[in-house]
């Protein structure tokens, strides 16, 4: 009979999963990203998690985050100027998903987290939503205000939302950045009215760029992105955090991203299920 002490030595360490909030024995999946970031998997929610980022200085994270923020800002700037000059924001797939969730939302109060300069906010307002953009970037929010949008600054990356204040909460490409996902989802859940809707998108862990090698672009790798979801794991994480009717899906129809042969072939690969699309989308209800 092994002594209790030797048995303890063999037991993997149980910790509370920062994504699903369950007591979990997270195990290595044998991948180390960019030579520095080992990936773990939670057996409770199946989410792939970056390890060892927690000991990094906040400064490194902030620098990387700022770099990514700048790139994103550059991408949005042209679109922003077009709108200021009277043009229409062009986010057809996001608008289609909004039209879909409008059918199940009882009211028209929306919070977007990470709404940036307010492109999606402008679409929301044009569709009759009472919209507020919560973002960490003061610069982005000053532009959103120029578009006439209501804004709230997220300070020190800590969010606080008024309880029962939203019929819909939207996060486009945000959840993969958040360390304490479970705590964050709790705040979001409490901010929603009963049966309120959470609409999100996040990178798909099965996207080719993540599966091809362990060298990832800095903006999509730890410590910038720290959680990597599949359809299965995002559904489980939402369920374990008190959301129901979780519909997690990929988009199969894309327009060619470039005129190159590869750019033309990729949408066909998504359609024929030869390659996993890059993004997951989810629509959930507050239980
Ligand atoms: Zn978990």
Residue 229 belongs to a domain: yes
- CA nearest neighbour of 25 among 7, 39, 44: 44
**Other CB atoms closer than 10 Å to residue 150's CB: what's the count?**
16
In percent, the amount of the chain with pLDDT more than 90 equals 68
Examine residue 193 and state whether it is found in any structural domain, yes or no.
Answer: yes
pLDDT tens profile 127-150? 999 999 999 888 888 889 999 999
The answer to whether residue 183 sits within a structural domain is yes
What is the Å distance from ligand 1's center to 219 Cα? 23
Query: pLDDT above 70 covers what percent of the chain?
Result: 87
Tokens representing 284 are 């959930």
Residue with tokens 């949008």: 149
Residue 182 Cα to ligand 1 middle (Å) = 9
62 contacts: CB under 8 Å, gap ≥ 6? none
What phi and psi, each to the nearest 5 degrees, are found at residue 130?
-85, 105
Cα(129) to ligand 1 centroid in Å equals 34
- pLDDT one-digit tens code per residue, 69-117: 566 666 667 778 888 888 888 899 999 999 999 999 999 999 999 998 8
Q: Is 226 helix (H, G, I), strand (E, B) or coil?
A: coil
| Helix/strand/coil for 16 | strand
SS3 (DSSP) at 67: helix
Q: How remote is the CA of residue 68 from the centroid of ligand 1, in Å?
A: 27
- 179 Cα–ligand 1 center, Å: 12
- CATH at residue 23: 3.40.50.150
Residue 3 lies in a domain: no
For residue 166, the enclosing domain spans 15-286
For residue 43, the CA-to-ligand 1 centroid distance in Å is 7
Domains contained in the chain, number: 1
Task: Calculate how far, in angstroms, residue 261's C-alpha sits from the geometric centre of ligand 1.
Answer: 40
Between the CA of 42 and the centroid of ligand 1 the distance, in Å, is 5
| pLDDT one-digit tens code per residue, 59-69 | 544 554 456 55
User: Mean pLDDT throughout 120-129?
Assistant: 97
How far does the centroid of ligand 1 lie from the alpha carbon of residue 18, in Å? 7
Separation of CA 99 and ligand 1 centre (Å)? 31
- With bands split at pLDDT 50, 70 and 90, how would you rate the model's confidence at 157? confident
**Cα of 231 to ligand 1 centre, how many Å?**
14
Among the residue ranges 7-11, 160-164, 230-234, the one predicted with the least confidence is 7-11
pLDDT at 23: 96
17, pLDDT greater than 90: yes
The answer to whether residue 68 is domain-embedded is yes
Residue 4, in any domain of the structure: no
Task: Report d(CA 221, CA 175) in Å as an integer.
Answer: 14
Closest CA to 228 of 206, 201, 205: 205
Is residue 66, in this structure, part of any structural domain at all? yes
C-alpha 122 – ligand 1 centre gap (Å)? 35
63 in any annotated domain: yes
């Amino acid at each position: 009979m092994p002594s209790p002490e030797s048995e303890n030595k063999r037991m993997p360490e149980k910790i509370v999963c920062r994504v699903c909030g369950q007591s979990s024995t997270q195990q290595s999946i044998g991948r180390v990203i960019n030579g520095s970031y080992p990936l773990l998997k939670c057996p409770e929610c199946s989410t792939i998690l970056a390890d060892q980022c927690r000991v990094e200085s906040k400064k490194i994270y902030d620098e990387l985050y700022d770099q990514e923020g700048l790139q994103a800002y550059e991408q949005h700037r042209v679109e922003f100027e077009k709108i200021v000059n009277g043009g229409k924001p062009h986010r057809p797939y996001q608008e289609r998903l909004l039209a879909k969730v409008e059918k199940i939302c009882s009211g028209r109060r929306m919070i977007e987290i990470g709404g940036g300069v307010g492109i999606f906010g402008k679409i929301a307002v044009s569709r009759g939503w009472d919209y507020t953009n919560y973002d960490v970037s003061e610069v982005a929010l000053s532009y959103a205000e120029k578009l006439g949008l209501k804004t709230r600054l997220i300070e020190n990356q800590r969010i606080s939302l008024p309880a029962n204040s939203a019929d819909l909460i939207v996060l486009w490409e945000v959840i993969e950045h958040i360390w304490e996902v479970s705590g964050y989802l709790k705040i979001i859940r409490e901010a929603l009215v009963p049966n309120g809707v959470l609409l999100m998108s996040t990178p798909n862990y099965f996207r080719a760029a993540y599966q091809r090698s362990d060298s990832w672009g800095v903006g999509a790798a730890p410590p910038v992105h720290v959680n990597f979801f599949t359809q299965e794991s995002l559904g489980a994480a939402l369920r374990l955090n008190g959301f129901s009717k979780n519909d997690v899906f990929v988009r199969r129809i894309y327009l060619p991203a470039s005129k190159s042969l590869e750019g033309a072939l990729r949408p066909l690969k998504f359609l024929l299920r030869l390659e996993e699309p890059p993004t997951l989308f989810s629509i959930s209800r507050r239980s």
